């Protein structure tokens, strides 16, 4: 937690001009990296603030500390977590612009990260059976359960294959999108590495002709013009593109009125390099009129 002295002003009203980014997520998923990225973007950052102090903090009469603030809250808050979701609604009703962001990662990834850093999990307990990995997995699953309600109202970022630079880039993207409308994310991925944890809708495009089997196209991606030209000539690709676009356009208004801040549409192929990347790039262009549309490529971003 930042050590600067913050003058107390309990009677100060919460201002409508104040912006709060609420960082939460599974331990080991990259919250420290995200918080540092926000600090670099000009936010005043507070780590591990007890949830019961959140409203009082945002009511402080000092713009330096509250005009643009990022607060990290996680399972270390203990029983106070139960009151965090109502607090988000309360602050919004008082005019605070809130963007909750939840970082997640696959259990295997989290186990590996804890093993590499040798840090204990916040929910770790004495290992009665002597099996450290088993105890760690149990702690991670318990943490998922405790944070499930908070995850539901947050923008989820799957950091399983993200390097720190990639996570910082994702944070910059999110900060650039409007906060007054639903953010639409199109994300490509490889089925052989699993479905992204942040996906709301998943479409499989593995039935389309694969540029991988055209020798000169193999080292390219779906962002390269020769691959674009190849797939644009496939009637199946055009038909599937139109069907996915129609689905998203049909339900986007309903999703926008469902108190959601974002929706992620994940498009998967075998390697996450050609077909899914092409489809995501094209969909991103088609929905550019939405005004809050992001394009991500999980495998390309991880290797770039």
Residue list for the binding site for ATP:
25-32
Q: How far apart are CA 6 and CA 9, in angstroms?
A: 9
Please, are residues 227 and 217 in contact by the beta-carbon 8 Å criterion? yes
Q: How far apart are CA 69 and CA 283, in angstroms?
A: 33
List binding-site positions for GTP. Answer: 74-77
- Strand runs labelled E in the chain: 19-25, 44-47, 68-72, 97-104, 155-158, 183-190, 201-204, 262-269, 293-297
- Kind of pairing, strands 19-25 and 68-72? parallel
Nearest to 19 by CA among 235, 133, 246, 174: 174
User: What secondary structure letter does DSSP report for 26?
Assistant: -
Please, are residues 81 and 123 in contact by the beta-carbon 8 Å criterion? no
Q: How far apart are CA 232 and CA 187, in angstroms?
A: 19
Please, are residues 189 and 299 in contact by the beta-carbon 8 Å criterion? yes
List binding-site positions. Answer: 25-32, 74-77
């Amino acid at each position: 937690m930042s050590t600067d002295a913050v003058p107390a002003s309990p009677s100060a009203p919460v201002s409508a001009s104040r912006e709060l980014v609420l960082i939460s997520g599974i331990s080991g998923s990259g919250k420290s990296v995200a918080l540092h990225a926000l600090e670099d973007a000009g936010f005043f950052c507070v780590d591990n603030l007890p949830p019961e102090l959140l409203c009082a903090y945002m009511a402080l009469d000092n713009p330096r500390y509250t005009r643009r603030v990022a607060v990290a809250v996680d399972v270390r808050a203990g029983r106070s977590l139960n009151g965090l979701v109502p607090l988000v609604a309360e602050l919004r009703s008082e005019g605070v612009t809130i963007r909750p962001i939840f970082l997640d990662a696959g259990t295997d990834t989290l186990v590996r990260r804890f093993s590499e850093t040798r840090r204990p999990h916040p929910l770790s307990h004495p290992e009665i059976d002597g099996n450290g990995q088993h105890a760690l997995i149990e702690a991670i699953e318990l943490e998922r359960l405790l944070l499930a309600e908070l995850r539901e109202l947050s923008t989820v970022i799957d950091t399983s294959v993200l390097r720190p630079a990639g996570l910082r880039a994702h944070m910059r993207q999110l900060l650039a999108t409007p906060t007054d409308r639903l953010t639409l994310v199109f994300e490509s991925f490889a089925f052989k590495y699993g479905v992204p944890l942040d996906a709301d809708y998943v479409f499989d495009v593995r039935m389309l002709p694969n540029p991988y089997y055209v020798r000169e196209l193999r080292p390219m991606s779906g962002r390269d013009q020769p691959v674009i030209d190849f797939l644009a000539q496939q009637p199946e690709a055009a038909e599937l593109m139109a069907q996915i676009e129609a689905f998203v356009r049909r339900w986007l208004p309903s999703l926008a009125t469902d108190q959601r801040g974002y929706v992620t549409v994940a498009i998967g192929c075998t390697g996450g390099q050609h077909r899914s990347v092409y489809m995501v790039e094209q969909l991103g262009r088609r929905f550019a009129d939405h005004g809050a549309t992001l394009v991500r490529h999980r495998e390309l971003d991880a290797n770039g």
